[in-house]
Structure 1
Amino acid sequence: MLPVQSFTAFIQQNQLFKADDVVLAAVSGGMDSVLLVHLLKAAGFTFAIAHCNFQLRNGEAEADQAFCKQLALDMGVPFHTINFETSAYAAEQKSSIQMAARQLRYQWFGQLCQEHNYAAVASAHHQNDTIETILLNLTRGTGIAGLHGILPKNNLLVRPLLFLNREEITGLISQHHLAYAEDSSNASTKYARNKLRHQVIPKLKELNPNLEQTFERNLTHFRELEQLLQQQVAMAKNQVWTEHGKEIHLSLTGISQLYPQRLLLSGMLKDYGFNDTTIDDLISSLNKHSGRVFESAGYILVLDRDKLILSSKIIDTQSSVTIDPEDETARYGNYTFQISCTDEPGPIAPNANIAMIDSGLLIYPLTLRSWRQGDYFMPLGMSTRKKLSDFFVNQKVPVHQKTQTPILINGNGEVIWIAGYRLDNRYKLTAQTKKVTIFEILK
């Protein structure tokens, strides 16, 4: 029998979607996505199938498309398909085929969700995909967030098969005689992920035949440790943290009793934009004279005898704030930004309050400031320059709002993003993009 109970339990445990939601299943025709739709059907969920034909493998791509269409017909579910001119798009965007295909499919999935009110996009990622992602992150450099691997839910994208590994999926496909279409490109070691899949992971499994189960336990431990840390930070706040009007006072006596001091103090202050370097400087100054000032993009910390005083910066239209690579938040005027990085951005519905930027093009420190006379940028989708003053006029932005709108500036002086309005075309995601930096306006 298909593992329907485990499938539904995983969905409920991770709150991927509700029983009465309509889900869009991304189906390539391979064994993973075929098992996904059979489980959705057996569990009684309402869903549709979406298949992308990237027109890259001649007759093989058309055969996959026909297979998925027949699969949807056999299951009695709606079928969406699209033919992408992937090679032409990649050449136009000067990007790799892989990046172009990813951009095209996620954009299309987002459109389908808007048009048909689908609650989520279900992909067939499994435990082995998570292992590959973690290893890729480790080879490129990562923090604890990169050790999470592929999360069960990322915006609209959900992964209901993360409770299974590749060997289990292969066994289920064989046991239930489920037909599928094999993508010949999966055997190629041209791409980094396939090199890990075919050359590295088999060697690791020689050392540990239960590699998938070990990684799954490790992921659980990492996530639980993060939750434990959050609880400890909340408890530590009770020792050191008091609010005085618009200020927050941190007791130096309380801080001296924190253990581990750096980890807990960093946890308390990270939402205020203070990076690790500033925290180190702060700790080294705790026993020194009063008056030392520490700054983040939107806040200042003042060392004042027996306490630290945390307060918001007063920003006028001529002020600017800097953003360092470690910053997770930034504040400018009445705006609060959340900053994150990923190498697997999920489909995001069009949203002017979110900017997805090629991390490799960023030169730190970045700057948030107001519009200045003579500023120009290249609006997303255009290859010509446009003055910001003209852009604001075209957008019918009132004068007082124009002077308050944050402009994200790269270290080379170029405009990256008019926050809440438009990204610069030079900083969009391309085929060369290895990591994505996401800026999201929270307020």
Structure 2
Amino acid sequence: MFPKFKQHINSEMPFLKGKKLLLACSGGVDSVTLAHLCVAADLDIGLAHCNFTLRSDESDGDEVFVRQLATTLGIEVFVKQFETEQYAQTHRLSVQMAARELRYQWFSELLETKGFDYILTAHHANDSLETFLINLSRGTGIEGLSGIPEVNEQVVRPLLPFSQQEILAYAKSEKIAWREDSSNASTKYLRNKIRHQIVPVLKELHPTFLQNFLNTQNHLQQTNSLASNHLNELKSKLFEQRDGDIKISITALEKLQPLDAYLYGLFKDYGFTEWNDVKDLLSAMSGKQVVSKTHRLLKDRDFLILSEIKNTVNGTYLVHVDGTPSELPIKLKLENVETLEKQGRNVVFLDKEKLNFPLVLRNWEKGDYFYPFGMQGKKKLSKFFKDEKLDVISKEKQWLLCSSDNEIVWVVGKRADERFKVEDSTRQIIKITQLT
């Protein structure tokens, strides 16, 4: 197995050479064998072991074993104990999902603090088959049937081309010791049921079933790659970047067929799951929206506006008399000037003596009004926004600079207020610039 493993690293994963690698090691045969293979291949690895404290003395025994393994191999080891059941209850997760979250959170911390470049896991061909069958049983698209990726950002799985049978045979031939996890024999978990009850039957029906599956999975991965390339090209044409948001023509979307498949492919990466609601948005009234945990999709006239949901603080910010105030959500520069220059959307000149300092920067509110520069009389901001053709998201992002008595001085980046303009009698002029 070792020559085949080394050839696989040389041909498919040469980027691992010379890098600092963190190998997730449970103490089981798969991860222990991977550790031995990596050391034999002169890869620079350290071990990371999670003690999830779920199997009492057995968990502690695994920890001791991994520490001894690191000593035997002459490599660094990191160990962390977790209160997994408590974490699962607090976050309302299954124990398996809690363990996964805790594991990868810690691995990410080690990458950042200890200078590792990649995480190695010991997933193999049988794991990929089991994942395929789990996803198939739950209902999935082509991505779910494409199996476990060999490389997913900083997570690398060098053993995916190898079967569990190959790994076991190598471990026994090299007299490699490992720990048996008693929970792997239990069929109360779905993955174990598939491993112990379904996969053996499939192999009995066709002795080369695993290899046939790997061939099929390779075809699915190639098809998925073609689809992804097409969708990325389509996004570059349909997704118009605008002030941090994405604007998409509904007319262009409706021309795509099959529409359901295209909507899923274009918007799945933004966390949406209610696909009927996404589709209904195309014919909904303006202002309707669909929200995921991370993004919002808003209907605005003939377009959909896709925006990221950010944890922003809507409130008021004090703006003092001059300089470039810090701690503001936008950059403003205030300076005293002697002469009046050309005023624009991002620059205003105001009569300083008409202002009450500190000024206040805030979001717009329903009922707000101002006196647009160059016009007679007041105008509600809602009407001004409509005339400016601002969509809902742009309105939410709009900032107002107000005198401390809450009179609007400037609809920032749009229009100054007539009441604070520079006149012949003005003695002090203040220039305010919105910086990009």
Please tell me the residue identity of whatever aligns with 1:322.
V
Task: Determine if contact 2:295/2:307 at 8 Å carries over to the other structure.
Answer: no
Distance 2:83 2:137 in 1: 32
Which of residues 52, 70, 73 in structure 1 aligns to 2:50?
Answer: 52
Query: Relative to structure 1, is the Cα distance of residues 131 and 328 closer, same or farther in structure 2, using a 3 angstrom cutoff?
Result: farther
Distance 2:316 2:163 in 1: 50
Which of residues 94, 97, 103 in structure 2 aligns to 1:105?
Answer: 103
Write out aligned runs for 1:42-441 (5 A): 42-229=40-227, 321-323=289-291, 330=297, 336-337=307-308, 398=328
- In the TM superposition, residue 370 of structure 1 has moved relative to its aligned partner by 10
Name the stretch that deviates more: 84-93 or 328-337. 328-337
Query: Relative to structure 1, is the Cα distance of residues 267 and 399 closer, same or farther in structure 2, using a 3 angstrom cutoff?
Result: closer
Distance 1:268 1:28 in 2: 36
Query: Relative to structure 1, is the Cα distance of residues 189 and 20 closer, same or farther in structure 2, using a 3 angstrom cutoff?
Result: same
Query: Relative to structure 1, is the Cα distance of residues 91 and 232 closer, same or farther in structure 2, using a 3 angstrom cutoff?
Result: closer
Structure 2 residue 35 is matched with structure 1 residue 37: yes
Task: Determine if contact 1:233/1:267 at 8 Å carries over to the other structure.
Answer: no
Query: Relative to structure 1, is the Cα distance of residues 92 and 177 closer, same or farther in structure 2, using a 3 angstrom cutoff?
Result: same
Paired residue total: 315
- In the TM superposition, residue 128 of structure 1 has moved relative to its aligned partner by 0.6
- In the TM superposition, residue 129 of structure 1 has moved relative to its aligned partner by 0.6
Which of residues 5, 14, 21 in structure 2 aligns to 1:23?
Answer: 21
Q: Secondary structure at the match of 1:82?
A: strand
Distance 2:202 2:38 in 1: 32
Query: Relative to structure 1, is the Cα distance of residues 110 and 391 closer, same or farther in structure 2, using a 3 angstrom cutoff?
Result: farther
Q: Secondary structure at the match of 1:35?
A: helix
Structure 1: unaligned runs, 5 residues or longer: 283-292, 301-318, 338-367, 372-387, 405-443
Q: Secondary structure at the match of 1:198?
A: helix
- Give the aligned partner of residue 6 of structure 2: 5
1:269-318 deviations in Å (ceiling 9; x for gaps): 66999998699999xxxxxxxxxx7589xxx9xxxxxxxxxxxxxxxxxx
Report which of the two structures shows the higher radius of gyration computed on alpha carbons: 2
Task: Determine if contact 2:297/2:305 at 8 Å carries over to the other structure.
Answer: no
1:249-278 deviations in Å (ceiling 9; x for gaps): 9999xx99x9x8769976996699999869
- In the TM superposition, residue 248 of structure 1 has moved relative to its aligned partner by 9.2
Q: Which runs of 4+ in 1 moved over 4 A?
A: 230-238, 245-252, 260-282, 293-296, 327-337, 368-371, 388-393, 399-404
- Give the aligned partner of residue 396 of structure 2: none
Query: Relative to structure 1, is the Cα distance of residues 188 and 402 closer, same or farther in structure 2, using a 3 angstrom cutoff?
Result: farther
Q: Secondary structure at the match of 2:96?
A: helix
Task: Determine if contact 1:152/1:160 at 8 Å carries over to the other structure.
Answer: yes
- In the TM superposition, residue 117 of structure 1 has moved relative to its aligned partner by 1.2
- In the TM superposition, residue 6 of structure 1 has moved relative to its aligned partner by 3.3
Q: Secondary structure at the match of 2:16?
A: coil
- In the TM superposition, residue 11 of structure 1 has moved relative to its aligned partner by 4.3
1:81-125 deviations in Å (ceiling 9; x for gaps): 112222333344443322222222221111111110111111100
Q: Secondary structure at the match of 1:61?
A: helix
Percent identity reads 35
Query: Relative to structure 1, is the Cα distance of residues 278 and 164 closer, same or farther in structure 2, using a 3 angstrom cutoff?
Result: same
Task: Determine if contact 1:28/1:52 at 8 Å carries over to the other structure.
Answer: yes
Q: Secondary structure at the match of 2:49?
A: strand
Please tell me the residue identity of whatever aligns with 1:4.
F
Task: Determine if contact 1:54/1:86 at 8 Å carries over to the other structure.
Answer: yes
Distance 1:46 1:322 in 2: 47
Query: Relative to structure 1, is the Cα distance of residues 251 and 324 closer, same or farther in structure 2, using a 3 angstrom cutoff?
Result: closer
- Give the aligned partner of residue 342 of structure 1: none
Task: Determine if contact 1:89/1:100 at 8 Å carries over to the other structure.
Answer: yes
Task: Determine if contact 1:26/1:50 at 8 Å carries over to the other structure.
Answer: yes
Structure 2: unaligned runs, 5 residues or longer: 319-325, 331-360, 365-436
Distance 2:164 2:317 in 1: 52
Please tell me the residue identity of whatever aligns with 1:54.
F
Distance 2:106 2:288 in 1: 37
- Give the aligned partner of residue 288 of structure 1: none
Please tell me the residue identity of whatever aligns with 2:203.
K
Superposition TM-score, scaled by structure 1 size? 0.58
- In the TM superposition, residue 18 of structure 1 has moved relative to its aligned partner by 3.0
1:146-182 deviations in Å (ceiling 9; x for gaps): 1111111223322111010111111111111111111
Superposition TM-score, scaled by structure 2 size? 0.59
Please tell me the residue identity of whatever aligns with 1:138.
L
Please tell me the residue identity of whatever aligns with 1:26.
A
Distance 2:316 2:23 in 1: 39
Please tell me the residue identity of whatever aligns with 1:129.
D
